[in-house]
Homo-oligomer: A and B are copies of this chain.
Amino acid sequence: MAKLYVIGIGPGDPELLTLKAVRIIKETPVICVPKGREEGSSLALSIVEKAVSLKGKEIIEAHFPMRKTKIQGPGSGGQGPGDLPLDPGPWPPDPDNDLDAKWDQAAQAILSKLSNGKNVAFLTLGDPAIYSTFYYLYDKLIELCPEPDMEIVPGVSSINLSAARAKISLGLADEKIAILPANYMGDLRSALETFDTVVLMKVHKVFDQVLELLKEMRLLDKAAYVCRAGMEDEKIFKDISSVRPEDLNYFSMVIVRK
């Protein structure tokens, strides 16, 4: 069996790939990338291609038809590449559904390369531990092959990038950090009371409610809104009440630092 590398390629800027990611991608003959739509091009691949030549490599594009999350309120039109593999269905997956079958196919494709002696690099946006779909695949992999030779290469996550762009520390000394990815309105008040820093992802869906709560808790001036961090149309709001509906989109987060 050859080796599987799982590589966090960072949040989008090809320069935020690590030296290790670049070296391993160069050395590995088979590259596997997740892909949201069968016709779409892979974002991960297009980022990596700007830093490493992929000429001559075998590319496995694993098709994971992501569920479209219901978008409420304004901003739903401006999601950008909203077919990113960030919302791959319920967890644990239902073994009867089509999505689970797709993960199974991908795992089998990878294992077939590995057993033919070819190393495989699976690319994932950001860091593999932070909301990466890789761990859905991992469960399938170890079902089929309990101890694969596998190395996970950490990467820069979009949370670290957003904090860097807004020049905000997420924590100093003994400060506690909470990361809330979605569906958090029920827990938000308590998290804001207990934690020094709260990171709210996918905030475009509930922005008005978040704004209302922060106002009520007198935390408005402690919050920043970072939209499309590191992209050409990045926007940073230190006054989040000035965020307009057209500034709300999938690639956005609110950081509240008390």
Residues on A lying within 8 angstroms of B by beta carbon are: 8, 10-11, 13-20, 22-23, 51, 87-88, 90-91, 127-132, 134-136, 138, 150, 152-157, 159-161, 163-165, 167-184, 187, 190-191, 194-195
B87 touches A173 (CB 8 A): yes
For residue A187, which residues in chain B have a CB less than 8 angstroms away from its CB? 176, 194
**Interface pairs (24), CB distance under 8 Å:** A8-B164, A13-B20, A15-B20, A16-B154, A17-B18, A18-B156, A91-B173, A91-B175, A127-B164, A128-B163, A129-B163, A129-B168, A129-B170, A134-B169, A152-B163, A152-B164, A154-B161, A156-B156, A171-B179, A174-B181, A176-B187, A178-B195, A190-B194, A191-B194
Report whether A169 and B20 are in contact in the complex, using a CB–CB cutoff of 8 Å: no
Q: Let me know if B179 and A152 touch, CB within 8 A.
A: no
Contact partners of A8 in chain B: CB under 8 A: 156, 160, 164
A156 — nearest CB in chain B belongs to which residue?
Answer: B154
Q: Is the CB of B155 within 8 A of A160?
A: yes
Question: In chain B, what residue has the closest Cβ to A157?
Answer: B160
Do residues B16 and A127 form an inter-chain contact, with CB atoms below 8 A?
no
Known contacts A154-B160, A154-B164, A176-B179; A170/B130 CB under 8 A? yes
